[in-house]
Amino acid sequence: MSIVGSLTIAAVAFVAGVVVSAWLGIGRGDGLVKIRNESGSRLTSIVVVIDTCGQKLDISAGALAVGATSEVHYVICGEGGQIVRAILADGRTIASQQEYVESGYRGSVEVSTSGIR
């Protein structure tokens, strides 16, 4: 194989790696969770709790109408945990299980009257 052929293969592999990394979020220092309200009533409050680098951060996403979706972006230090809490219209508070997250995390949850999944 010629040097030009080898360089062409290397360049194609590099570009493919960059595209896949961008698509998967590899190398990003942030996280994102999409929250959809399927509870049948307005959520009066949504909070995403991020536990990373020995700190807990409460990020408010505000209220959320029925059927609406909110995106919460946050900075994460390598890896950590995420909990989503919501207050339903009747005053009940529900929370997701803690989920492992790391840099570049992209996820989504649905809030219903029976829980957050």
Q: Residue 45 is part of a domain; what is its CATH number? A: 2.60.40.2890
| 48 part of a folded domain | yes
Residue with tokens 């590099």: 14
Interval 57-99: pLDDT, tens: 999 999 999 999 999 999 988 899 999 999 999 999 999 999 9
| 35 part of a folded domain | yes
Interval 100-114: pLDDT, tens: 999 889 999 999 999
In this prediction, residue 10 carries a pLDDT of 75
| 75 part of a folded domain | yes
- Split into its structural domains, the chain has a count of 1
In this prediction, residue 25 carries a pLDDT of 55
CA distance 60 to 116: 16
pLDDT band of 9, cuts 50, 70, 90: confident
| 74 part of a folded domain | yes
| 52 part of a folded domain | yes
| 12 part of a folded domain | no
Average pLDDT over residues 46-60: 95
Supply the range of the domain harboring residue 111. Answer: 29-116
